[in-house]
Amino acid sequence: MTADDARRLLRAMWRIRHFEERVGRLKRTDEVFGLIHLSVGQEGVAAGTCLQLRDDDAVYSGHRAHGHALAKGAPLDRVMAELMGRETGLCRGMGGSMHLVDVEHGFMGATGVVGGNIPMALGSALAARQLGGDAVAVVFFGDGAVQAGHFNETVNLAALWGLPLIMVCENNGFAEFTPRSAHTVVERVSDVVAPYEITRETVDGNDVLAVWERFGEFLARARKGEGPFLLECLTVRLRGHYEGDPAAYREAIADEEWQKMDPILRLQRHALKQKWVDEGELAAIEAEAVDEVEAAVAFGRESAFPEPELVAELVYAGSDA
Amino acid sequence: MSHELPYIAAIDEAIRLEMERDESVIYFGQNMATTENAPYRQAFGDDRVRVTPISETAEIGMAVGAALAGFRPVVELYMAEFMLVAMDQVTNEAPRFRAMSGGQVKVPLVLKAGWGFTAGWAGQHTGTLTNMFMGVPGLKVVSPSTAADAKGLMATAIRDDNPVVYFHNYLLTLDHGEVPDGEHLVPFGVADVRREGSDVTIVANAHMLNQSLKAAETLAGEGIQAEVIDPRTYAPLDVDTILTSVGKTGRLVLVDSAPRHSAASNVIAGEVVERGFDLLKAPIVQVTALDATVPYSEPLEAYVIPDADRVAAAVRGVLGTAPVGV
C-alpha cells in the first residue's frame, strides 16, 4: 500500500461513513422514504476491495449496498437522490436503497432477497470468461446468505468451471437479528467451502490493510484466469439490521472499544505513523466528505420526483425483433 | 415453403437457427451433454452449451447475470415445476432488474419449461402454471399449441430483450405439424383464431385447445358453430381478439387445465367482463381443473382435468340447450 492508496481509502471510507450517518438522520425525518440498511462500521471492506476494481469488473451486493456502490464509483449525489426517491436518482427513483444499479461503473446490482445476488455474479463471471478478457466478478454478501442454497449452488459451479469470481463475505456475526451461532455449527464461513478446495481466507475486515492486500492478491490471480476465491471479512455492523431496529438482541459496543476497531481510525493511525499524512490533511479529507454529502442532500432536495409515466415505460425493454 | 416436424423438434430447430444466427445465444441446463442434447455441444461447443448440476437457482441466476453482461441465455428446465425451486430468480430478480435499475439494464433470457404431462405423471409433473407467472410484471409468458408456433414463439422469445417463460406442453411433444422453413417469428400478443364460428367463443391453449377443437367438431354436428381461439402468449395477452369474437358470438367458454382458482382463464374472464359486459348474452363459463393436486390414478386424473366432453357440455349450457354447469 502506498501513501496515495491510503489517502484514497480514507477518502472512500469517510464518504461512506458520512453518507450513511446522514442517511440515518434523513430517515428519522422521512426525507429518505423507505427501508434502509446502513453499513456504518463495515466501510473497510467496501473500500479495501472496490478501489482496486475497474469499471468492467462486475460487482453485486445485497440489501446493505450503499458502501459498495459508492466505493465502486457510483456518484454520491445520485445515490442520495435515489434514496430520496427522485428522478435524478441513480435508478430514477425506481430501485431505492436495496436495488442500486450503476452499469457505467460496473455496479451491476443489489438485491433485497438475501442470497439472490450470488448466482447472478456467477453469470457475470461466466460472461467474463466467455468474452476472453481479464475482467472479474465480485459479489458481497453477509454471513446470513451462506446458509442459503444460492451460495452453495454457486460455489459448486464456480469451482467446477474455475470461474473468475471473488466472493466477499462480510461476516458481522448477525444474520438480520440473529447471531450466527443460532443458524449453523460452522463458525468460519471460509470453512464452509473447504471441500471445494478453492482459495479462501478469513481476515479482520476492519483492518483495511489486510483486506486490501489479500483481496489484491486474489484479484491478480483472478485476472490471470484463476478462480473462484472466497474472502471472509470479519467486521462489525454498528447499527441495527435496519434503521429503526432497536437491536435489543445484542449489547452495544463501548465507544472506547470501537475507537480501537474503527477501520477509518485504524488506517488514520497507521498513515500517521508511516508519515504518509499529517493531522491537517486527515481533517481536510474528512471535511471534504462532509461537504460532498451535504451537497448531495441539497441536490436531492432540489430534484423533482419522477413522472408516473416512468412506471409503465420500464416494465419491458423494447425488442430488437 | 414448409416441412413437417414434431412439436419438440420444431423448438429445437428454432434454438439451433438462433444459435447459428447470434453468437450471444448460450444454452444450458441439466442433462444437456449426456442425452439427446449432445448434438448441441457438437455444433456450438462447450462454452455455449453447458451441462449444469441440479441447481435451478444457480442456473437461472447465472442466466440473469449473463444476460446483464450481454448474452442471451436459454435455460433448459425440462419440467415447469423445477422452475419453482428457483422462484426467487424467476420472479424477484430476472423480471425486476430493468425497472429497479431505472431502465439501465435489460435481461434477455428464455426459461424453457415443459408442462402439463397429464399422462400419469402425478402431482409434481402435470401442472399448468401459466397463471403463476403471467402476473409477474416484466416477465413474458408464452405457450405454443402447434409445431409452427413452437418454432416461431421460441425464435421470438430468444430475440426478445426481456425474460420469457417458454412453456411447451408435454402432451404435444410428438404431435406433427407443418413448420415454415428458415426464419419464422411469431409475434407476442397476437392470439390465433383456430376455428371460426358464430354461436360461442372458446378460448383454450395446448392440449386443452385440441380438446376444444374436438368438442367444436362434435358441436358442429349439433348445429352449434364454435369459434376457437388460442391466446398463444399470456403476457402480453391479446384481449382484443377475444373481445372481437365475443362481440360476434355473445358467449364465452374459457378452457384451462389449471386449478380453478389459479387459472389464466380467471384473468381473461375479468378483462372480458370489465371491458365487454354489454357484449355478453350469457354468463362466462370457465372449464378448469379442480382445485386439487392432479392424482396419479388414470380415472382420477381424468376426473380432475377437463376434456372435450366437458367443453361440449359447457357450451351447450351457455347456449341454453343444457343446464349451465361444469
Residue B313: domain span: 192-318
Among B3, B125, B176, B184, the one annotated catalytic = B125
Work out the average pLDDT over A253-269: 93
Residue pair B167/B130 in contact (Cβ under 8 Å)? The answer is yes
Work out the average pLDDT over B56-63: 97
Residue at A313 is within a domain = no
Residue at B200 is within a domain = yes
As a whole number, the mean pLDDT across chain B is 96
* pLDDT tops 60 at residue B324: no
B138 touches chain A (CB under 8 A): yes
Shared-domain flag, residues B59 and B101: yes
pLDDT digits (tens, 9 = 90+) for B214-240: 999 999 999 999 999 999 999 999 999
**B98:A314 CB<8 A:** yes
The CA radius of gyration of chain A, in Å to the nearest whole number, is: 19
pLDDT digits (tens, 9 = 90+) for A100-138: 999 999 999 999 999 999 999 999 999 999 999 999 999
B94 touches chain A (CB under 8 A): no
**pLDDT band at B37; cut points 50, 70, 90:** low
Shared-domain flag, residues B38 and B133: yes
**pLDDT band at A249; cut points 50, 70, 90:** confident
pLDDT of residue A208: 98
Q: HSE on the CB side for B16, CA within 13 Å?
A: 15
Residue at A306 is within a domain = no
pTM of the model as a whole: 0.95
Work out the average pLDDT over B8-28: 97
Work out the average pLDDT over B281-291: 97
Q: What CATH number should be reported for the domain holding residue B17?
A: 3.40.50.970
Residue finishing a domain among B135, B153, B180: B180
Residue A31: domain span: 3-300
B contacts of A317 (beta carbons < 8 Å): 98, 103, 106-108, 161-162
Residue at A191 is within a domain = yes
Shared-domain flag, residues B112 and B217: no
Shared-domain flag, residues B84 and B11: yes
Shared-domain flag, residues B212 and B255: yes
Regarding beta strands A178-179 and A174-175, do their DSSP bridges make them parallel or antiparallel, or are they unpaired? antiparallel
The candidate with the shortest Cα–Cα distance to B27, out of B75, B67, B66, B89, is B75
Work out the average pLDDT over A87-92: 98
B202's CB contacts (< 8 A; 6+ apart) are B212, B215, B216, B226, B227, B228, B229, B253, B254, B255, B311, B315
Residue at B186 is within a domain = no
**B66:A109 CB<8 A:** no
B162 touches chain A (CB under 8 A): yes
Residue at A293 is within a domain = yes
Work out the average pLDDT over A269-285: 97
Residue B187: asked if its preceding bond is cis (omega within 30°), the reply is no
Mutation target among A57, A63, A319, A320 for the B interface, most CBs of B within 10 A: A319
Shared-domain flag, residues B162 and B197: no
pLDDT of residue B326: 47
B114 touches chain A (CB under 8 A): no
User: Which of B47, B61, B160 minimises the CB distance to A120?
Assistant: B61
Instruction: Check if B125 is active-site.
Output: yes
Residue at B185 is within a domain = no
How far is A95 from A111, CA to CA, in rounded Å? 10
pLDDT digits (tens, 9 = 90+) for B125-170: 999 999 999 999 999 999 999 999 999 999 999 999 999 999 999 9
**pLDDT band at B322; cut points 50, 70, 90:** low
**pLDDT band at A253; cut points 50, 70, 90:** confident
pLDDT of residue B323: 58
Shared-domain flag, residues B156 and B14: yes
* pLDDT tops 80 at residue B205: yes
pLDDT of residue A174: 84
B66 touches chain A (CB under 8 A): yes
**B102:A101 CB<8 A:** yes
ipTM score: 0.93
Cell numbers 448531495: residue: A296
Shared-domain flag, residues B271 and B306: yes
Residue at B70 is within a domain = yes
Q: What CATH number should be reported for the domain holding residue A222?
A: 3.40.50.970
As a whole number, the mean pLDDT across chain A is 95
Residue at A173 is within a domain = yes
* pLDDT tops 60 at residue B25: yes
| B73-92: burial string, b at 16+ Cβ within 10 Å, e else | bbbbbebbbbbebbebbbbe
pLDDT digits (tens, 9 = 90+) for B99-110: 999 999 999 999
A contacts of B52 (beta carbons < 8 Å): 157
CA dihedral angle for residue B306, residue B310, residue B316, residue B321, rounded to 10 degrees:
-140
Residue at B324 is within a domain = no
Give the gap in angstroms from C-alpha B157 to the nearest C-alpha of chain A: 9
Weakest-pLDDT range from A146-155, A159-168, B33-42, B240-249: B33-42
How far is A46 from A237, CA to CA, in rounded Å? 13
Residue at B325 is within a domain = no
Into how many domains does chain A fold?
1
Shared-domain flag, residues B6 and B132: yes
Shared-domain flag, residues B15 and B139: yes
Q: What CATH number should be reported for the domain holding residue B248?
A: 3.40.50.920
pLDDT of residue A321: 39
